[in-house]
């Protein structure tokens, strides 16, 4: 009889606050897995970053913080945070938002020293998929610039959208693990 020796698995909340070995990627994760999109989804150019300082406003450009498409579409990288209930740190999705040329210029103004002409929020369109929160319909964001070279924070504009609801109310630790599994990270094979 071995039923009484069955090991209990740690709760999802406990798992997300300690180190765990990932059955999918083999890495040891320190609590939360933070996901990051390399470029806006419409980007079809090189898979290497140029330096921010080499920004070109004509043609195509991609650095780790800035992107220009066809000299017409302007994107910045920020963080979409989703709180997890019972876990002190938020899940962070590094992703891209469009900005108008005017707000893109404001972002460049304050990029090094935080001296933005205004602190927003600026309006943009989320430019990456996030699991099943975001379908094919464009999703509007509020973009909040941050000081001290911290990446901008993004919030969904439509309070009825599942993404904005998740940001406002938080998600369960189990839901967070589903998100990680969607992106190839899971505690169990
Ligand atoms: Zn992993």
Expressed in angstroms and rounded, the spacing between residue 94 Cα and the centre of ligand 1 is 16
Q: Does residue 88 fall inside a structural domain?
A: yes
Read out DSSP for the chain? Answer: --GGGPPPPPPHHHHTTSEEE-TTT-PEEESSPPEE-SS-TT--S-SSPBPGGG--SSS-EEBSSEEEETTTEEEEEEEEEE-BTT-SSPEEEEEEEEE-HHHHHHHHHHTTT---S---PEEEEB-S--TTT--SS--EEEEE--STTPPPEEEES-TTSHHHHHHHH-B-HHHHHHHHHHTT--S--
- Token pair of 136 as six digits: 């094919």
Instruction: Judge whether 1 lies within some domain.
Output: no
Query: Is 30 a domain residue?
Result: yes
Ligand 1: distance of its center to the CA of 33 in Å? 7
Question: Domain of 123?
Answer: 14-182
C-alpha 177 to ligand 1 mean position (Å) = 11
Mean pLDDT of 106-128: 95
Residue 17 reports pLDDT greater than 50: yes
Tokens of 73: 């579409």
Domain total in the chain? 1
Nearest CA to 78 out of 48, 46, 120 is that of: 120
Q: Which residue has the higher pLDDT, 124 or 135?
A: 124
For residue 133, tell me if it sits in a domain.
yes
Query: 187: CA distance to ligand 1 center in Å?
Result: 8
Cα of 146 to ligand 1 centre, how many Å?
A: 29
| Spacing, Cα 76 to ligand 1 middle (Å) | 26
pLDDT tens readout for residues 59-73: 999 999 999 999 999
The verdict on pTM exceeding 0.85 is: yes
131 or 40, greater pLDDT: 40
Rounded distance from Cα 98 to ligand 1 centre (Å): 29
Ion ligand 1 residue ranges (Cβ < 5 Å): 22, 25, 185
- Residues 27-55 have pLDDT tens digits of 999 999 989 999 999 999 889 999 999 99
Q: Which residue from 57, 65, 47, 40 is spatially nearest to 126, judged by alpha carbons?
A: 40
CA 104 – ligand 1 centroid, Å? 34
Facing residues of 102 across strands?
none
Say how many C-beta atoms besides its own lie within 10 A of residue 107's C-beta. 22
Contact present, 140 and 124 (Cβ < 8 Å): yes
């Amino acid at each position: 009889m071995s039923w009484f020796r069955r090991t209990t698995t740690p709760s999802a909340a406990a798992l997300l606050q300690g180190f765990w070995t990932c059955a999918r990627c083999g890495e040891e994760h320190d609590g939360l897995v933070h996901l990051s999109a390399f470029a806006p989804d419409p980007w079809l150019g090189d898979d290497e970053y140029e330096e921010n300082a080499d920004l070109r406003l004509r043609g195509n450009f991609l650095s780790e913080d800035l992107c220009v498409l066809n000299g017409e579409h302007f994107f910045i990288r920020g963080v979409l945070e989703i709180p997890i209930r019972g876990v002190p740190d938020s899940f962070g999705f590094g992703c891209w938002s469009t900005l108008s040329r005017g707000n893109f210029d404001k972002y460049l103004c304050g990029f090094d020293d935080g001296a933005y002409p205004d602190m927003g929020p600026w309006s943009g369109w989320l430019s990456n998929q996030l699991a099943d929160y975001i379908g094919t319909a464009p999703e509007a964001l509020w973009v909040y610039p941050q000081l001290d070279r911290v990446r901008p924070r993004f919030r969904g504009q439509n309070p009825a959208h599942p993404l904005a609801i998740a940001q406002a109310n938080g998600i369960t630790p189990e839901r967070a693990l589903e998100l990680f599994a969607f992106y190839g990270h899971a505690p169990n094979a």
